Structure 1
Amino acid sequence: MITHLSKNRGLTLLELLMTLIIVGIINAFALPSFGRTLSQNQLTTQANTLITGLNYARSESIKRGHPVVIRKTGTQWENGWRIFVDLDRSTAAKTNSFDAGTDLELRIYEALPPHYTLRGNNNFVNFIRYEPTGLSNNIGSFALCDNKDSDNLPQPWTAKLIIVNRAGRARIGRDTNNNNIPEREGNIDMVSCTVSPF
């Protein structure tokens, strides 16, 4: 009997090098895009957390018939915030400030990741209050930035502007010029992550 021996061929060095080059090219294009998408999703999650808190405070003020306050818990909003029913408004010092003995705490939000900044404009420096009618104490906005580079400037895909109108409704700021930086009033790009957006 004649048996035919089949040769098992592996990859040649040239084929292996070509495969590695192709994989390297694909990674060079895919990884930065994936990283940016991941960062954008995390920023959107943080913005949605704030908007959810604002909507919750507004609905609770209407439901309970009392002012509900969202107040930062640290020196800046990114350190976290507390939502409470402001039951004791007997003095100026107790108004819009949490008093554990009399006020009703509803929720506490933890600090944002270390590289995020969240700043309210001059109307929301320390707190935002919702009246039993659902109206907010003022109009204003919050600037949220993923500030990994620590330059405090909004870069494309790294900033969100959360705007609160007089009716107390919160929305994300628009980007009508498509440069991926949100715009404040007058269609002017947001210029800082740590200064009043408008």
Structure 2
Amino acid sequence: MRLLTKKEKGVTLIELVFALAILIIIGQLSFSFIPDFLAKNRLDNHLNLLHQNINYGRLYAIENDTYVTLCALKDSQCTQEQWGGQMSLFIDINKSTSLDDDELILSIFEKVHHNDNLQYPRNALTFRPDGSLNGFQNGTFIYCPNNGKANLEGLALSVSQTGRIRIKATDKCQSK
């Protein structure tokens, strides 16, 4: 004759408390990395968007034999102080770096996040019909995520006089 024993299925209160404590500790550790992860994601996304629009403007200028300007507009004028704001890519027939009534907007893209900062040393990028930049408009965009906090590297997007682009990391965002 066999003796059948009934096995209990479930967990004890001590096991449950121990498992919850481990989950809470892991959660607290992961939550501390989320702001930096989101800032890095914003950095990558916005710089990719900027890169795409610069390439689009350059190619549009070449294919359509026209001048194309990328800038941050304020009252239809390109301004150097507004690079963190909404940017526009438009056909600039008269090379005035201002949006006139007879000029077509090709693209408008969003401003940077309010915690981030984007700078460029010129007020506009204007591509000639050959794809090069008009005048001395070459320079480097500096995008700093979580501006004022020194824990993240920024990215630098350099535009050469020929209109070519190079992206690299920069420490100009970190306080010394």
State if a TM-score over 0.5 links the two structures. Answer: yes
Structure 1 position 139, deviation (Å): 1.9
Q: Which residue of 1 aligns with 2:38?
A: 38
Q: Is the 8 A contact 1:51 1:171 kept in 2?
A: no
- Runs of 4+ in structure 1 deviating by more than 6 angstroms, as ranges, are none
2:89 is paired with a residue whose SS is strand
Structure 1 residues 106-165: Cα deviation after superposition (integer angstroms, max 9, x where no partner): 1112322222221112xx2x2111111111233201111223xx52x6x34352211111
Structure 1 residues 91-117: Cα deviation after superposition (integer angstroms, max 9, x where no partner): xxxx121102x2222111232222222
TM-score by length of 2: 0.80
Q: Which residue of 2 aligns with 1:136?
A: 133
TM-score by length of 1: 0.72
The residue type paired with residue 98 of structure 1 is L
Q: 80, 93, 97: which is aligned to 1:87? A: 93
Structure 1 position 62, deviation (Å): 0.7
The residue type paired with residue 131 of structure 2 is G
How do 1:170-181 residues align onto structure 2 when only pairs under 5 Å count? 170-174=165-169
Q: Is the 8 A contact 2:119 2:142 kept in 1?
A: yes
Aligned residues between the structures = 167
Q: Which residue of 2 aligns with 1:98?
A: 99
Q: 151, 160, 169: which is aligned to 2:155? A: 160
Aligned-residue identity in percent: 27
Question: Which stretches in structure 2 are left out of the alignment for 5+ residues?
Answer: 75-80
The residue type paired with residue 100 of structure 2 is D
Bigger Cα displacement from structure 2, 109-118 vs 46-55: 109-118
1:78 is paired with a residue whose SS is coil
Distance 1:19 1:191, change over 3 A: closer
2:49 is paired with a residue whose SS is helix
1:108 is paired with a residue whose SS is strand
Q: Does 1:77 align with 2:83?
A: yes
Q: Which residue of 1 aligns with 2:114?
A: 114
Between the aligned partners of 1:14 and 1:114, the Cα distance in structure 2 is 46
Q: Is the 8 A contact 2:144 2:173 kept in 1?
A: no
Structure 1 position 53, deviation (Å): 0.9
